[in-house]
Structure 1
Amino acid sequence: MATESPTKRMKLDGPLIGTHSGHFHADEALAVSMLRQLPTYANSNLVRTRDPSILSQCHTVVDVGAEYDVSKNRFDHHQREFGTFFPGHNTKLSSAGLVYMHFGKDIIQQVTGLPAGPDLDILFEKLYTDFVEAFDANDNGVNVVSPSDLEAAGLAKKFEDRGFSIASVVNRYNYTPGAKSSAEQSKEQQQDEEDERFLKASAFVGEQFILELTDRATAWLPARKAVAEAYNARLKYDPQARILVLPDGMPWADHLYNLEKESPLPDGVAPQVLYVLFPESTEPGSKWRIRAVSKENGGFQNRKDLPDAWKGVRDEELDKVSGIPGCVFVHAAGFIGGNKTFDGALAMAQKALEL
């Protein structure tokens, strides 16, 4: 249990997981939580120590020990000679990436029931790219964009986002406002309290990992086929194929960008889709949405905004401004709008292409 001392924990049966004591980070918090998704470690206890004699008795050790050896279940990345990367990526791995690289497919199968095959491989890569790699980069001091490149480009932050990341949330668990001072506690009590805070942090990042994995498996992965079918049918709605019509709301952006990169481009067809249409729900008579495609995945700048004259306008007033009946709204930022019918949403997209 988390409240037991390392010495007591060493007497318990089962495959013991070890990591370092002291200030903790997001990477080992995620590494421990991922391991515990597997049957082997489901009931494992955790010891947090830097004592080599205790770590040597652990079944699996992450983020401490200066050793990376899969045969010994040792997954540290701090040794000078370490230089391991996830296949196809350029970010040096942390303990999170090491555990994911070696156990990730088993974890995905355990959580989702997905069988071995191409879909598992795709999901394994996707989850690393969209979730785990950021843990590796953060722990190894790698920025999304080099500060020197930003300075050379004359760019500056518009706001401070240091407290907004998962890593910053984990860091907050290192501190307990109102806790007793070290002078009022024994070393064992201090360690127990620290361990308890680590377990809370690990549970937090573990929950985020499972949410990401479950969403990708149940929504993102099945959407690949539907988006591909819609992509191949887009000439039905625009002679230059700039409008994509989906049968329902789904995670479409990743798949669209990939299709645009990978698919041959027929003569007369535009290289990029500008608007995506989808119903608000699967209920009969559902309203429809029109979404401008972002220039880059996750960005706020669109390839083509909805027309300026429509922005921030609603209902009958929007009908008059656009000349299209059944309008519901267009967001003031011009990235999304709505209409009461599919035909109305399609008319909005077709007219927006020409404005």
Structure 2
Amino acid sequence: MVIGTHHGKFHADEVFAVAMLKQLYPDARIVRSREPEVLSQCDIIVDVGRGEYDHHTTDKVFRENGLPYASAGLVWRDFGTKVVRHLGCNEENSDSLTDIIDEKLIQAIDAIDNGIDLEKDARIKGVSELVGGFNPPWNSDADENFAFQDAVSFATQILVNQIKSEIGRIEATAVVKEAYEHRSDKALLVLDTFCPWTDTLFELDVNSEVLYVIFPDRSGEYRLQVVPKSLGSFEARKPLPESWAGTEGDELNALTGADDAVFCHPARFIAGAKSLTTILHMAKLALNE
């Protein structure tokens, strides 16, 4: 397998396109050129050559939402489902996960390369800027092809992390639903394992009943976390008590009447304790305040 793309300054769209293809063809050789006779020897060509994975034409291909594809999106459209299955997603969820990755990551990359400003994806814009930063400076004699390979490695890690994170979120859905349906206190969601809960909770909790979530963390301690007013917001439905803000250990124990409270973040969005008994006690205090 030989993957072709253009030489010269590279951008996030072709870097991510190559990173996607390398998941499926890890031994593929990358050729960077604009010469037709060189590109004609490639099996797949991205972002150059006027082929199916080059968006530099006046006859652009558009998504249903009106956003034009760049090379990353075109490759993801055709290979994304295979990539997510390769990384562990089951067949039942693979199509929906492919769409989720496109919406959360790929569309913003495509928009930037097509000169479209997506205000809602401002956080993702940094990804394109960081990938672009792998280009050698104008006054450097660094090898451009080595820089491109470094950028592909960086993009690969971002892509793989995003996919595995979304697979984890999907697999956690049943855990969150079970805990939600068996709440003893409507305002408190208690999870028996650490897992992603935010998206699923917002789908279930249409009346905004849950104010706090309790879960064990990876260290074996327990956490009490606020539920935000909306996805992506830092504003809580009910912040933790103001008197707890920034306190730790003995000071927090004195405030709560506990003996193994660990901390409360100064922003009052999360607190910790060593035992489930104490974190439940702290949750009740916070709910009653």
Unaligned residue ranges in structure 2 (runs of 5+): none
The one of 271, 276, 287 equivalent to 1:337 is 271
- Going from structure 1 to structure 2, the CA distance change for 1:281 and 1:202 (only over 3 Å counts) comes to closer
1:274 is matched with 211
- The answer to whether structure 1 residue 51 and structure 2 residue 35 are counterparts is yes
1:257 is matched with 202
The CA distance in 2 between the partners of 1:229 and 1:133, in whole Å, is 33
Secondary structure in structure 1 of the residue aligned to 2:87: helix
1:125 CA drift (Å): 2.5
1:54 CA drift (Å): 3.1
Are the counterparts in 2 of residues 24 and 198 from structure 1 also a CA contact under 8 Å?
yes
- Going from structure 1 to structure 2, the CA distance change for 1:340 and 1:204 (only over 3 Å counts) comes to closer
2:129 is matched with 168
Unaligned residue ranges in structure 1 (runs of 5+): 1-14, 68-73, 147-156, 181-189, 262-269
Letter in structure 2 aligned against 1:318 = L
Are the counterparts in 1 of residues 20 and 76 from structure 2 also a CA contact under 8 Å?
yes
Are the counterparts in 1 of residues 253 and 259 from structure 2 also a CA contact under 8 Å?
yes
2:239 is matched with 305
The CA distance in 2 between the partners of 1:126 and 1:291, in whole Å, is 26
What is the TM-score normalised by the length of structure 2? Answer: 0.88
The one of 86, 101, 106 equivalent to 2:77 is 101
Secondary structure in structure 2 of the residue aligned to 1:165: helix
Are the counterparts in 2 of residues 248 and 281 from structure 1 also a CA contact under 8 Å?
no
1:23 is matched with 9
What is the TM-score normalised by the length of structure 1? Answer: 0.73
- The answer to whether structure 1 residue 77 and structure 2 residue 55 are counterparts is yes
1:205 is matched with 155
- The answer to whether structure 1 residue 350 and structure 2 residue 287 are counterparts is no
Letter in structure 1 aligned against 2:82 = D
Counterparts of 1:94-133 in structure 2 under 5 Å? 94-112=70-88, 114-117=89-92, 119-133=93-107
- Going from structure 1 to structure 2, the CA distance change for 1:306 and 1:127 (only over 3 Å counts) comes to same
Deviations 1:298-343 (A, max 9, x none): 3322222111111112223223323455422211110100123223
1:291 CA drift (Å): 0.4
1:222 is matched with 171
Secondary structure in structure 2 of the residue aligned to 1:99: helix
Secondary structure in structure 2 of the residue aligned to 1:304: coil
Tell me the matched-pair count: 288
Instruction: State the superposition RMSD in angstroms.
Output: 2.6
Letter in structure 2 aligned against 1:132 = I
The CA distance in 2 between the partners of 1:115 and 1:271, in whole Å, is 31
2:23 is matched with 37
The percent identity for this pair of structures is 35
1:90 CA drift (Å): 4.9
Deviations 1:190-222 (A, max 9, x none): 9xx2222112211210122122223333x3222
Q: Which runs of 4+ in 1 moved over 4 A?
A: none
Are the counterparts in 2 of residues 31 and 99 from structure 1 also a CA contact under 8 Å?
yes
- Going from structure 1 to structure 2, the CA distance change for 1:101 and 1:292 (only over 3 Å counts) comes to same
1:176 CA drift (Å): 4.7
Secondary structure in structure 2 of the residue aligned to 1:226: helix
The CA distance in 2 between the partners of 1:174 and 1:281, in whole Å, is 38
- Going from structure 1 to structure 2, the CA distance change for 1:228 and 1:132 (only over 3 Å counts) comes to same
1:19 CA drift (Å): 1.2
Letter in structure 2 aligned against 1:100 = W
Are the counterparts in 1 of residues 265 and 271 from structure 2 also a CA contact under 8 Å?
yes
Are the counterparts in 1 of residues 60 and 69 from structure 2 also a CA contact under 8 Å?
no
Deviations 1:32-91 (A, max 9, x none): 1111211xx333222222223433443211112334xxxxxx211221221322x6x553
Greater radius of gyration (CA): 1
The CA distance in 2 between the partners of 1:354 and 1:329, in whole Å, is 19
